[in-house]
Amino acid sequence: MMAEATRFVFTFKELAELLVKKQGLHEGIWGIIVRFGLQARNTGLTAESVLPTAMVPILEIGIQRQEEMSPLAVDAAVVNPPQRPGSRPTRKKKSSPKQHVA
């Protein structure tokens, strides 16, 4: 019996495809964007080891329209083509994300 998966990871292209589908986009090239924040503190294990430290949290992950393909982008017309009027939506076999068992 396989252990239950406790983590799923996705490539940037897989994330872009999921977000394109979530937004109902059918045209254009869309790529992943990440907005970072920046904070600074003085930190250390002891009073003698305190050093200036930068912390960079991820604030948002999204997609943005792009002019050309990149390793972070997908073509919405390919990954989420519009349905023709009167046609039934086709069921696509779900691709399995990479699973990691802890």
Residues 92, 81: Cα–Cα separation, whole Å: 12
Domain regions of the chain by residue span: 7-81
How much is the pLDDT for 17?
98
* Overall average pLDDT of the 12-36 stretch: 97
Whole-number mean pLDDT of the chain?
89
Residues 17, 26: Cα–Cα separation, whole Å: 11
Full-model pTM: 0.71
How much is the pLDDT for 93?
54
